[in-house]
């Protein structure tokens, strides 16, 4: 669908969109990949933003991303930035001719787009098919990118890990140390990775060993400059893999605004003595309860340390006494032997134990990463959930 200098392409899991991408780039256009399953209202908001844009023609990819705000943002990635990210990543996780990357992430998100770009830039292949639910789905693949919930489901399969696998990239949000250690014990060649849409996905990556802390994301990629603000703990990033900018709505139409450099990520973290990046959580997800800072990701990691929890999402809710309190949603592999709150109390400080723990609704459990903003909105609307 041509919209000025933009070509909107509907993408869906298991279907190769690369021919459509290349034809758009041959015409000097920006590709806007939208999931075929995107709700009509969300699609209409994105298209309205695109129609308002006024900019010079250029090739690349424009990715709508809501971040943590829920409002659609249009991030403009150049081909050069994506190629730079692919080459830098390959210096840490080699990929090239003879290798096959399973398209496990949707190409409507930066992680999925970069699977295609790595193959385009480095010469490897891409395998399209159903989302991996068992180890046999990865047979013949050498590389795969997974979020924590996907890896947790695969580990439920007791079949052997395919010997073809050279690298399993784990990113997209927090993951528990127990999950990482379980994968390593099974022989999974596991790498942590951290990045954002604005950084063409990858900006820090490293191989994981048993016992590595759950916050570890890895060393900065070659060419990436990562610093941490001493006062706020905010991670800041610069390098050739940064996006061209963001399309921002204005009275006279949308305009491309270059990113401030270094990029303030709104993620909190630190660099260890070895120069490796650790990610603690989102600054805009943090809330204060009774004067104490609460990072939802810390509670999520603790929940996912429990062997019967596949995925977790924690939101803050208003509280008359404490200001805000945590509430958790969990996707269970099996029923816990006793109350989850009591189990959490054995590892977490009292103020971090959620006031309520609910079964994650099926639509959120089916997502690769549950939406904190969506669950908070549903709670605020009065929707009822099954309490565990």
DSSP class of residue 138 equals G
Collapsing DSSP states into helix, strand and coil, what is residue 9? strand
User: How many angstroms separate the CA atoms of 296 and 304, rounded?
Assistant: 12
With contact defined as beta carbons under 8 Å apart, do 331 and 149 qualify?
yes
Query: Burial code of 17-35, b = ≥16 C-beta within 10 A, e = fewer?
Result: beebbeebbeeebbbbbbb
Q: What angle do CA 64, 68, 69 make, to 5 degrees?
A: 80
Reduced 3-state DSSP string for 12-63: CCCCCCHHHHHHHHHCCCEEEEEECCCCHHHHHHHHHHHHCECCCCCCEEEE
Q: Enumerate the domain spans of the chain.
A: 2-281, 287-380
pLDDT digits (tens, 9 = 90+) for 169-202: 999 888 889 899 999 999 999 999 999 999 999 9
Mean pLDDT to the nearest integer, 329-338 = 90
Q: How many CB atoms lie within 10 A of CB 94?
A: 14
Query: Burial code of 341-380, b = ≥16 C-beta within 10 A, e = fewer?
Result: eebbeeebeeebbbeebbebbeebbeebbbbbebbbebbe
Dmax over CA atoms of the chain, in Å, equals: 60
Res. 251 pLDDT band, cuts 50 70 90:
low
Long-range Cβ pairs for the range 186-193 (8 Å, 24+): 186/155, 186/161, 187/161, 188/151, 188/161, 189/165, 191/92, 191/93, 191/167, 191/218, 192/216, 192/217, 192/218, 193/145, 193/169, 193/217, 193/218
- pLDDT recorded at residue 19: 96
Mean pLDDT to the nearest integer, 284-294 = 87
CA Rg value for the chain:
21
Collapsing DSSP states into helix, strand and coil, what is residue 133? coil
Residues pairing with 116 in the sheet: none
Mean pLDDT to the nearest integer, 45-52 = 87
Reported as type and span, the H/E element at residue 238 is strand 234-238
pLDDT digits (tens, 9 = 90+) for 31-46: 999 999 888 888 888 8
CATH number of 287-380: 3.30.300.30
With contact defined as beta carbons under 8 Å apart, do 357 and 300 qualify?
no
- pLDDT recorded at residue 238: 97
Residues pairing with 193 in the sheet: 205
Most confident among 174-183, 189-198, 249-258, 379-388 (mean pLDDT): 189-198
- pLDDT recorded at residue 68: 44
What angle in degrees, to the nearest 10, is found between the helix axes of 18-26 and 110-122?
70
Percent of residues, the chain, with pLDDT higher than 90: 65
Closest by CA position to 112, among listed 74, 63, 60: 63
**Per-residue pLDDT for 67 more than 60?**
no
Q: May I ask the CATH architecture of the domain 2-281?
A: 3-Layer(aba) Sandwich (3.40)
Tokens of 354: 């959620």
Res. 373 pLDDT band, cuts 50 70 90:
confident
pTM of full prediction above 0.75: yes
User: How many angstroms separate the CA atoms of 317 and 380, rounded?
Assistant: 8
**Per-residue pLDDT for 250 more than 80?**
no
Contacts of 156 (CB under 8 A, 6+ apart): 333
Residues pairing with 248 in the sheet: 255
**Per-residue pLDDT for 96 more than 70?**
yes
CA 201, chain centre distance (Å): 8
């Amino acid at each position: 669908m041509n919209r000025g200098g933009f070509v909107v392409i509907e993408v869906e899991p298991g279907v190769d969109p690369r021919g459509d991408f290349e034809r758009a780039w041959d015409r000097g256009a920006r590709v806007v990949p939208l999931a075929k399953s995107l709700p009509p209202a969300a699609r209409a908001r994105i298209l309205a933003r695109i129609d308002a844009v006024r900019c010079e023609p250029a090739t690349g990819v424009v990715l709508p991303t809501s971040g943590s705000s829920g409002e659609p943002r249009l991030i403009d990635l150049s081909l050069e930035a994506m190629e730079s990210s692919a080459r830098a990543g390959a210096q840490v996780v080699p990929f090239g001719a003879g290798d096959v990357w399973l398209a496990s992430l949707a190409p409507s998100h930066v992680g999925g787009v970069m699977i295609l770009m790595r193959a385009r830039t480095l010469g490897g292949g891409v395998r399209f098919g159903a989302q991996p639910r068992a180890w046999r789905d990865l047979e013949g693949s050498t590389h795969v990118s997974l979020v924590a919930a996907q890896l947790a489901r695969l580990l439920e399969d007791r079949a052997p890990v395919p010997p073809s696998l050279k690298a399993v990239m784990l990113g997209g949000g927090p993951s528990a140390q127990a999950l990482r250690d379980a994968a390593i014990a099974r022989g999974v060649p596991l790498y942590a990775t951290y990045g954002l849409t604005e950084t063409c996905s990858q900006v820090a990556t490293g191989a994981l060993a048993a016992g590595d802390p759950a916050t570890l994301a890895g060393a900065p990629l070659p060419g990436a400059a990562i610093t941490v603000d001493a006062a706020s703990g905010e991670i800041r990033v610069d390098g050739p893999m940064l996006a061209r900018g963001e399309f921002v709505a204005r009275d006279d139409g949308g305009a491309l605004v270059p990113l401030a450099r270094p990029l303030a990520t709104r993620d909190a973290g630190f660099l260890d003595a070895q120069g490796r990046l650790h990610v603690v959580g989102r600054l805009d997800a943090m809330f204060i309860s009774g004067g104490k800072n609460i990072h939802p990701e810390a509670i999520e990691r603790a929940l996912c340390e429990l062997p019967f929890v596949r995925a977790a999402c924690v939101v803050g809710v208003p509280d008359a006494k404490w200001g805000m309190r945590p509430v958790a949603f969990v996707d269970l592999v099996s029923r816990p032997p006793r109350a989850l709150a009591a189990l959490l109390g054995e590892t977490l400080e009292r103020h971090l134990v959620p006031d309520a723990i609910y079964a994650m609704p099926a639509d959120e459990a089916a997502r690769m990463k549950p939406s904190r903003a969506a669950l908070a909105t549903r709670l605020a609307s009065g929707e009822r959930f099954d309490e565990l």
